[in-house]
Amino acid sequence: MRLIPAGPGRRFIALLLDASCAIAVAAALTLPLRFVLPPAALQAAAVTLSFVVGWGWYVLFEAFGQGRTPGKQLLGLRVVDSRGLPLTLEQALVRNVVRALDFAPVFYGLGAFVSQSDTWRRRLGDLAADTLVIRESREFEALGELRRSDEFNSLRTPRVLRLVRRRVSMEEAELLLALTLRADQLGDAARYDLLESVGRHYREKLELGELPISGRALVQGLASLVIGERRPSSRRLGSRR
Amino acid sequence: MSVEAFVRARQPEWRRLAALLDASERLPIGELGAARLAELVRLYRQVASDLNEARSYTANPELLGSLNDLVGRGYRFVYRRSHARRWREATRRLFTAEIPRSFYAARASVVTASCAFLVGVVVGGGAVLAERGNAERLIPSDFFTESPRERVERIESSEERIVSVGDAAAFGAMLYTHNIQVSFLAFAAGALTLVGGFVLLFYNGAILGALAACYWLDGVQGFFFAWVGPHGALELPAIVFGAAAGLRLGRALWLPGDVAEPAALRAALPEVARMLVATIVVLVLAGLIEGSFSQFTGRTFPHTLKTAVAVLLFMLLMAWLFVRRGAHED
């Protein structure tokens, strides 16, 4: 099992989301008290509630929410023990108390600096509590979008199959699969340019000449071929010349 | 077997495990049921095996990453600590047994932190007693709008500052929230640098010593002890406790000894967390006392009474944390 540390960008956005939510909750709890408490007592309640919600938000959600505050959950992040185990209450408390130093000199400047210098992207609180913030990848539903290998494919000729086996390595095969799965996430222009560029590369490598299909169709066709031609690890798909 | 066939064959079990883990995160563990629990554990082992097998077929980051995450979630569920809690019993045990035991176990750190603070008091007080001018170098300028004698005369002859419970609560809330954040900073500095904790303790001690010496030189030390004493009897030890907790954690980080650093950290964390909880609670009490009882003039509460209350609070605090009882032996 591997742990993938979360990058500073996502962590920062999650932090902003959590801070906004905490402020909103504290305000929502304080507002009704305006109608029942005198001004001095209201001030005491407001100060206390702001403090408790502001600090307690992170501790309680991380300790009892499987390491996820609402902001972290939205961004696909989770706080775990450095061994990948769930966070303990003690770890949640210590990593968030040290937030007082991470916040120095202004809005997490020190914490961000330390996090950028650390291999696991840990801020000071993570170092003190032996925790990590990891990124959880998306579900594997996307695998269902892979083209079935028995659809019509103009590339499926004995000559091309032979060249694919010999000249397309496992790493290239994975690249073709990844392109096929992720191409729709790109903008139109970027997708077109990328797939045309990759298509040109494989036209040349596999001696496909002026085959009248687009770069996208070429990449998808090749991806379909490599799925259908996949062998167990004892017989590799192809090797570089 | 091709990768696609492998995924097609195993995906229903992966989806089932994901659904069970979702349910386990939503429901209390008792509501999951024995059958689903057993199925979850069985599927976790199966999917962990599938992850190993998938690595032999493919380097596809989508597949391996998703399986890795699924196995990670299962791992965290299977190896998590019990969350069964009876809150009332747990809270009672925390304050009557676990916190005192933690302070007793960390007494070396507490003594070290206390010494750093007391050295600061002696140095600050000695510097001002030796030369009055040192006070302005040591003490923040906010304290020098008037001399101690002038201040005492002004306070003792004016109206009481606190006239309602609300006023006391408002002032106390500002004080304890500020002090708790300062103690967090002292804890963090001590934990991550060791030296930082000592410096903060010494500095705070020096300011206090210098201030006390100023009042002593003006002949109004009785007012000082009555003014600072009731809340200081709790607040000053709490500052020391927060820093001591940081030093305890810092020792595990920087001087783990024969134990690996992560193991030393994990061993220290429960003790440190309990010390932090005690620090927070004591600072809240100190803030409320400072916002109320400490502010009253000698006309309402004589200085001797306030000083006696200070001594009593200090003794109660020490008795709670350091006097060994049967519960400490758990």
Shared domain check, B68 and B103: no
* Domain boundary assignment for chain A: 8-135, 141-228
Of A2, A88, A230, the CB nearest to B2: A230
The answer to whether residue B330 sits within a structural domain is no
The answer to whether residue B83 sits within a structural domain is no
Res B52: pLDDT: 83
Shared domain check, B133 and B71: no
Average the pLDDT over each of A115-129, B31-45, B213-227 and give the range with the smallest value.
B31-45
Domain limits for position B97: 88-324
Res A147: pLDDT: 44
Of A2, A129, A170, the CB nearest to B68: A2
Residue of A82, A140, A234 for testing the chain B interface, max B β-carbons within 10 Å: A140
Q: Check if the beta carbon of residue B293 is closer than 8 Å to that of residue B306.
A: yes
The answer to whether residue B329 sits within a structural domain is no
Residue of B50, B56, B112, B96 lying closest to B250 (CA atoms): B112
DSSP A80: E
Q: What percent of chain B has pLDDT over 90?
A: 37
DSSP A135: E
- Of the two residues A196 and B78, the one the predictor is more confident about is A196
Shared domain check, B263 and B134: yes
Shared domain check, B125 and B165: yes
Shared domain check, B123 and B252: yes
Contacts of B62 in chain A (CB under 8 A): 137, 140, 142-143, 177-178, 181
Tell me the CA distances in angstroms from B205 to B87, B138, B212, B240, B307, one per residue in order.
38, 11, 10, 10, 20
Collect all residues with Cβ–Cβ distance below 8 Å to B319 and sequence separation of at least 6. Answer: none
The answer to whether residue B150 sits within a structural domain is yes
pLDDT surpassing 70 at residue B311: yes
Shared domain check, B13 and B138: no
Res B172: pLDDT: 87
The answer to whether residue B251 sits within a structural domain is yes
Q: B4 vs A146: CB contact, 8 Å cut-off? A: yes
Number of structural domains found in chain B: 2
Contacts of B11 in chain A (CB under 8 A): 140, 143
pLDDT surpassing 50 at residue A150: no
Q: Does residue B247 belong to the interface with chain A, where contact is any CB pair within 8 Å?
A: no
Shared domain check, B32 and B111: no
- pLDDT confidence of B141, banded at 50, 70, 90? confident
Shared domain check, B204 and B93: yes
Shared domain check, B287 and B202: yes
pLDDT surpassing 90 at residue B76: no
Highest mean pLDDT among A184-188, B128-132, B134-138: B128-132
Shared domain check, B189 and B289: yes
Shared domain check, B113 and B54: no
The answer to whether residue B154 sits within a structural domain is yes
- pLDDT confidence of A172, banded at 50, 70, 90? confident
Judge if pTM exceeds 0.80: no
